[in-house]
C-alpha cells in the first residue's frame, strides 16, 4: 500500500510540475513507477537548496541561470549560460551538502563521469563547482535538446525504423563502454537518455556502481517499470545485466510509444512481466529463492509474447528485443554482443565503409594541404595507388574526386607520347637504334643521345659500361667493318 501511495504522489507531483513550469519532466525528477530509493542518501529537509542560493552560487562562478528545467529527490537541474563564452550548459545542483572539494570530487557520479569521458554517447562533464560557504556542489554538463520520454510523449505515429535503430545502437554503445570501464548504470530509463540532433547520450550517473562490487546491492534502485526480475525477486543480487533489461524496456517503448511493464507496485510489476513473457520455470525460481529472505511462488502461466504487442516489428528487432528481455540474467545478451546483432548490420557496414574511406583519404588530404601536392611523388607509386584504382568504381575512391583527378590521370593513361609540363624531370633511359650485326663481333660501347634525355646502355649489349668516347676508343673501331649509318636526330 505504501508503494501505491508513493506512485500516486509521484503522479501528482509530475502533474503539478508540468503546470507550474510548463515544461515536460526531464532527467531524474520524473518519478514514473516509483521514487528511486537509495539507502543512506535520503536528504534531510534542511538540506534542500533554495533557488536563490543556487542562482547566487552559480553567479559567483560565472554562470547565469536561464530557467529551471526540473527537480528531483536529490538534485535540481537548471539551464545556465556561461558569462565567459556565452555557451549554454545544464547545471545539476546536489541537495546534499558537501564538506570539502575533495569530497565533492570523490562523489560516485563525478568519478564515473570522469572515467567514462570522453565518449560520443556519454554526457560530458564540463566543470565541477563547489561553494565552500554553503557546501553546495554543482555539475556543469553539456546541454541536450530533450530526453527520450519527451521525444515520444504525445506522438500519434510510431517512429521510423531507422530512427529507432539509430538510437538503440547508440544506447548499446554507451552501455558497452560503461560496462567495459567497470561501471553499470542501474537506472536506465527514457528520462535519463538524452538526445540532440540525432545524437543519443546516456546521463545521470548518480545510481551507478562498480561491476566488481560484491552483492547484495541496494534492492530498490532503478525505476520500477524498468527493473529487471533479479532486482525484483532477490535481495540485491544483480549485476550489469540489469542495464540490458532496462534498455530492452526502453527499446519497446521507443517502438510502441508505450511502456512495456507499467506496474503499480512490486507484485504488480512481476505480474505484468509474467503476462507478457510467462512465468519462469522452477529451476530459475529456485535460484532466485536462494537469495531472497521471503518465500514466493507463482502459478504457471504462458505469456502472450511481445510480438502481439507490436505486430509490425521487424524480425531482427524482435529477435534482439527477446534477447535483451531474457528472464534469466545469465541468458541475457551483453551490450557488446548486442552491437554485433543482425539488427544493426546496416549501421555497422556504414561505419566500416566510412572508416575505410577516412583511412584512405587521410594521406591524400595531407598531400593536398601542403600546396605542392607532395612534390607529386605519390603519382609515381603505382604499387600503392594502382591497387586502389584497379576494379573500383570512380565514386568509391577519393583518388577520383573533383580536386584530385590530375593525381590519378597519369596512372590511367598508358603510352601517352607527351607528359604534362609540370611533371618532374625523370632519370629515364632509352635504348639506341639497333644495329644488325652479330653481338659476338661487336665490342661494348655506349652511344650518347644528344637530346634532352641521358644515355643508357642498349639491352643487346653486354652489361659492362664503356668508357667515354675518345681518340683511343675511336681507333679500336678501325679494326672492324661497320656499314655506313645515317644520322638521325643528332645521334647514331
User: For the segment 441-473, what is each residue's pLDDT rounded down to a tens digit?
Assistant: 455 545 454 555 555 555 554 545 544 555 555
Q: Residue 63: in which H helix or E strand, if any?
A: strand 63-71
Question: Could you tell me which residues come within 8 angstroms of residue 39 by beta carbon, excluding any fewer than 6 positions away?
Answer: 218
Annotated binding site for ATP: 92
What's 80's DSSP letter?
Answer: E
- d(C-alpha 263, C-alpha 259), whole Å: 10
Residue 178: helix, strand or coil by DSSP?
helix
**Can you give the pLDDT at residue 183?**
96
In DSSP notation, 48-106 reads PPPHHHHHHHHHHTTEEEEEEEEE-SSEEEEEEEETTT--EEEEEEESS--S-HHHHHT
Q: Residue 376 pLDDT > 50, yes or no?
A: no
Q: Residue 102 pLDDT > 80, yes or no?
A: yes
User: For the segment 407-426, what is each residue's pLDDT rounded down to a tens digit?
Assistant: 344 444 444 444 444 445 54
Residue 401: helix, strand or coil by DSSP?
coil
Selected catalytic residue, list 28, 37, 161, 187 = 187
Q: Residue 61 pLDDT > 90, yes or no?
A: no
User: For the segment 13-56, what is each residue's pLDDT rounded down to a tens digit?
Assistant: 444 434 433 333 333 334 566 544 443 444 444 444 467 777 88
User: For the segment 323-351, what is each residue's pLDDT rounded down to a tens digit?
Assistant: 999 999 999 999 999 999 999 999 999 99
Q: Which three cell numbers stand for residue 66?
A: 536561464
Instruction: Kindly state the percentage of the chain with pLDDT values over 90.
Output: 47
Omega before 216 cis (within 30°)? yes
**Can you give the pLDDT at residue 154?**
87
Name the packing angle between helices 161-180 and 241-256 (round to 10°).
170
Model confidence at 484, in pLDDT bands (50, 70, 90)?
A: low
Annotated active-site residue 187? The verdict is yes
Model confidence at 317, in pLDDT bands (50, 70, 90)?
A: very high
Other beta carbons within 10 angstroms of residue 445's beta carbon come to: 17
**Can you give the pLDDT at residue 33?**
61
Annotated binding site: 92
Predicted structure pTM score: 0.65
The domains found in the chain, sorted by start residue, are 55-142 (3.30.200.20), 146-349 (1.10.510.10)
CA distances from 427 to 75, 383, 424 (A): 75, 19, 10
User: For the segment 263-316, what is each residue's pLDDT rounded down to a tens digit?
Assistant: 999 999 999 999 999 999 888 888 887 777 667 788 888 999 999 999 999 999
Amino acid at each position: 500500500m505504501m508503494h501505491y501511495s508513493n506512485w500516486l504522489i509521484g503522479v501528482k507531483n509530475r502533474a503539478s510540475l508540468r503546470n507550474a513550469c510548463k515544461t515536460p519532466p526531464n532527467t531524474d525528477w520524473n518519478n514514473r513507477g516509483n521514487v528511486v530509493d537509495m539507502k543512506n542518501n535520503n536528504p534531510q529537509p534542511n538540506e534542500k537548496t533554495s533557488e536563490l542560493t543556487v542562482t547566487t552560487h552559480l553567479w559567483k562562478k560565472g554562470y547565469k541561470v536561464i530557467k529551471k528545467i526540473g527537480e528531483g529527490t536529490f538534485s535540481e537541474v537548471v539551464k545556465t549560460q556561461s558569462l565567459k563564452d556565452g555557451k549554454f550548459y545544464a547545471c545539476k545542483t546536489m541537495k546534499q551538502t558537501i564538506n570539502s572539494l575533495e569530497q565533492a570530487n570523490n562523489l560516485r557520479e563525478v568519478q564515473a563521469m570522469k572515467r567514462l569521458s570522453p565518449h560520443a554517447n556519454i554526457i560530458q562533464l564540463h566543470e565541477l563547482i563547489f561553494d565552500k560557504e554553503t557546501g553546495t556542489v554543482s555539475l556543469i554538463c553539456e546541454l541536450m535538446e530533450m530526453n527520450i520520454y519527451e521525444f515520444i510523449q504525445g506522438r500519434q505515429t510510431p517512429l521510423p525504423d531507422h530512427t529507432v535503430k539509430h538510437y538503440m545502437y547508440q544506447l548499446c554503445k554507451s552501455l558497452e563502454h560503461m560496462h567495459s570501464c567497470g561501471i553499470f548504470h542501474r537506472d536506465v530509463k527514457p528520462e535519463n537518455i538524452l538526445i540532440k540532433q540525432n545524437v543519443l547520450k546516456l546521463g545521470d550517473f548518480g545510481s551507478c556502481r562498480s561491476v566488481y562490487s560484491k552483492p547484495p546491492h541496494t534492492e530498490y534502485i532503478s525505476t520500477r517499470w524498468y527493473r529487471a526480475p533479479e532486482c525484483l525477486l532477490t535481495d540485491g543480487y544483480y549485476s550489469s545485466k540489469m542495464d540490458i533489461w532496462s534498455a530492452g524496456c526502453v527499446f519497446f517503448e521507443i517502438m510502441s510509444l508505450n511502456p512495456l511493464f507499467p506496474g503499480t507496485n512490486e507484485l504488480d510489476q512481476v505480474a505484468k512481466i509474467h503476462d507478457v513473457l510467462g512465468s519462469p520455470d522452477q529451476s530459475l525460481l529456485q535460484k532466485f529463492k536462494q537469495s531472497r529472505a521471503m518465500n514466493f511462488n507463482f502459478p504457471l502461466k504462458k505469456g502472450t509474447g511481445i510480438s502481439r504487442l507490436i505486430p509490425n516489428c521487424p524480425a531482427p528487432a524482435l529477435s534482439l528485443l527477446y534477447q535483451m528481455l531474457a528472464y534469466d540474467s545469465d541468458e541475457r545478451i551483453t551490450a557488446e554482443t548486442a552491437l554485433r546483432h543482425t539488427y544493426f548490420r546496416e549501421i555497422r557496414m556504414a561505419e566500416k565503409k566510412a572508416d575505410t574511406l577516412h583511412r584512405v583519404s587521410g594521406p591524400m588530404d595531407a598531400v593536398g594541404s601542403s600546396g605542392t601536392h607532395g612534390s607529386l611523388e605519390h603519382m609515381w607509386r603505382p604499387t600503392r595507388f594502382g591497387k586502389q584504382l584497379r576494379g573500383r568504381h570512380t565514386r568509391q575512391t577519393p583518388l577520383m574526386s573533383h580536386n584530385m583527378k590530375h593525381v590519378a590521370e597519369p596512372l590511367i593513361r598508358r603510352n601517352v607520347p607527351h607528359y604534362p609540363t609540370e611533371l618532374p624531370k625523370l632519370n629515364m633511359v632509352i635504348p639506341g637504334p639497333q644495329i644488325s650485326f652479330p653481338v659476338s663481333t661487336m665490342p661494348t660501347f655506349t652511344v650518347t643521345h644528344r637530346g634532352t634525355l641521358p644515355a643508357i646502355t642498349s639491352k643487346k649489349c653486354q652489361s659492362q659500361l664503356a668508357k667515354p668516347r675518345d681518340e683511343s676508343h675511336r681507333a679500336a673501331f678501325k679494326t672492324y667493318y661497320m656499314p655506313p649509318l645515317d644520322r638521325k636526330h643528332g645521334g647514331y
